Amino acid sequence: MSGVCSLFNYWIGQDDTIPICLLITTDATRDTPEHLAPFLPETGEAWTLDVLIGPPEYVGRGIATPMLESFLSHIQYQNRALRTVLIDPEANNSRAIHVYEKVGFQLVSEFVPSDGAFQGKPHVLMAYHYCQTRHSRTSA
């Protein structure tokens, strides 16, 4: 299932009929925050991604990596112009950072938001580049 509003796209991942995660994407080029601008592709589109996993019994079961790999493949199939996906977990969220690295995200920056709910909390910015990930096929 997916939903769209004027700013966010909502995606719900399910295990059979049980909702297990919420993924939220936005166009990273729309009202681009200063900390994202240097990491946008020269051509094509870039999206931001937020991931929430629950219910709690699904956390730590190893579903995040295959779920994200499938999701990243799906959104690129749906939008061939998509070149980069950016995600910005809190710097102390080592579990999430590890999963994102396994999927192919690379650490590109660190920042501390100056306003909003996460004001003063260190974050890392990670980028997934479709043309440069380990999942890309190369001819031998």
- Are residues 111 and 35 in contact, defined by beta-carbon separation less than 8 angstroms? yes
Q: Residues 123, 93: contact at Cβ < 8 Å?
A: no
pTM of the shown model? 0.85
What pLDDT does 139 receive? 39
Predicted local confidence at residue 11, as pLDDT = 93
Which residue segment(s) compose the domain that 68 sits in? 2-121
SS3 of residue 55 by DSSP: coil
pLDDT on residue 54: 83
pLDDT, position 114: 86
Residue 133 lies in a domain: no
Parts of the chain with a pLDDT under 50: 1, 133-140
Residue 106 sits in a domain of what CATH number?
Answer: 3.40.630.30
Phi first, then psi, for residue 83 (nearest 5°) are: -115, -35
pLDDT of residue 2: 55
Asked if the structure places residue 126 within a domain, the reply is no
The answer to whether position 131 is within a domain reads no
Say what the pLDDT of residue 32 is: 82
Flag whether 34 is in a domain: yes
Task: Give the number of domains in the chain.
Answer: 1
